[in-house]
Each structure stands twice: as C-alpha cells, then as structure tokens.
C-alpha cells in the first residue's frame, strides 16, 4: 500500500508592523525565530538600526569589507522533525549584495544557495529561501557568508516555520 503525504505549501503572510523606531518583535512571526543576537558570528559584523525594519535591537552588516571573513550561523532549536519554510528577515537595498552565499545544513546534507539581497523574491520583511526537511533539536543550521559578495551583506533574523501535513494524510 502506498501512502502519500502532501504538505500544505500555502504561503503564509507575515505582516508584522514595526514600531516607530523600525523594530520588529520575533513573536510577530510564525515559527521559530533566531535573531542575529543569538547567532554565532565570525568576523567584524557591525550592528545597525539604520536599515529598517529589523528584528530585536538591530541588524548586522559587514560594511562591504573583509570579503570572505564574515560569517554568521543561526542554529534553531526545532521542536519536531519535519518540513520547515526557511525565511530570511532583512531590509533590501541596492547597495546590498546580489550574490550572498547561504548554506543550510541538516544531517541529510548541505544546500548551497546564492541570494539576492538587492531584489529578493516576494514580499518582505521575511523572504522565503525554500522548504527543507529538518530533524528535531539543534541539528540544523543556516550560515550567511560574505565570501564572493558583490555588495554589502546584511544579517538579521532567520525563521524556521513548520509546514503542516495536509489533513487526513
């Protein structure tokens, strides 16, 4: 007997409203939010509140310098194994990199992505990277690097939003 599990890929609409200073709260988004403050940083990242909106206290920028030396790793505590929509939260801009390197690691393998921070797909401030199968716990991470970037690289928050299986499956 063959069973097929269908995931609901209906887009979710994060519609957070920033406060007067441009700040968004993590609780305004669906899913598990890992802010840059909780992430592991390598290199000289600069905190800024100039780019709005941002999650928490600020977002980070590499200032367009130190190519290949800045990385930030977001490691969520996922409550259950399953499929997750993975989204980046940031404010786009023409001075940003159109070739930002992103790696998503799970025990099954690594996915290498190149992301356009200038003109991201869809509506923000949370931009979908894709849907990925992830295990429970802290066995998955997403890393943003400024290696090979052609502009300023920014990092703010990453969302891991569970995808519910279709009803009756």
Segment 6-29 shows an average pLDDT of 69
> What are the backbone dihedrals phi and psi of residue 100, each rounded to the nearest 5 degrees, phi first?
-80, 130
Cα atoms found within 13 Å of the Cα of residue 37, Cβ hemisphere only: 9
The encoded tokens of residue 58 equal 């600020």
64 versus 18: which is more confidently predicted? Answer: 64
Give whole-number Cα distances, 146 to 16, 17, 36, 122, 154, in Å. Answer: 28, 29, 15, 23, 9
Q: Is the pLDDT of residue 3 over 70?
A: no
The reported pLDDT for the residue numbered 159 is 97
Domains and CATH numbers, the chain: 32-162 (2.60.120.260)
The answer to whether 44 and 28 are in contact (CB under 8 A) is no
CA dihedral 15, 16, 17, 23 (to 10 degrees): -150
The angle subtended at Cα 82 by Cα 80 and Cα 86, nearest 5°, is 100
Average pLDDT, the chain: 88
The answer to whether 127 and 121 are in contact (CB under 8 A) is yes
108 versus 4: which is more confidently predicted? Answer: 108
The reported pLDDT for the residue numbered 151 is 96
What is the tens place of the pLDDT at every residue in 47-58?
999 989 989 999
Percentage of residues in the chain having pLDDT higher than 70: 89
The reported pLDDT for the residue numbered 167 is 62
The reported pLDDT for the residue numbered 17 is 84
């Amino acid at each position: 007997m063959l069973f097929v599990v269908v995931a609901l890929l209906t887009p979710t609409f994060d519609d957070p409203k920033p406060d007067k200073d441009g700040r968004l709260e993590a609780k305004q988004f669906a899913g598990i939010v890992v802010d840059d403050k909780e992430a592991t940083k390598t290199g000289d990242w600069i905190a800024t509140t100039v780019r709005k909106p941002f999650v928490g206290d600020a977002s980070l920028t590499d200032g367009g310098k130190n190519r290949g030396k800045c990385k930030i790793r977001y490691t969520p505590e996922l409550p259950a194994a399953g499929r997750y929509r993975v989204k980046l939260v940031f404010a786009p801009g023409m001075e940003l990199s159109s070739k930002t390197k992103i790696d998503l690691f799970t025990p099954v393998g690594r996915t290498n992505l190149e992301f356009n921070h200038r003109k991201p797909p869809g509506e923000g401030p949370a931009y979908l990277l894709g849907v990925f199968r992830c295990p429970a716990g802290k066995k998955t991470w997403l890393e943003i690097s400024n290696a090979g970037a052609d502009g300023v690289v920014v990092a703010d928050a990453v969302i891991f939003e569970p995808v519910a299986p279709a009803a009756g499956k």
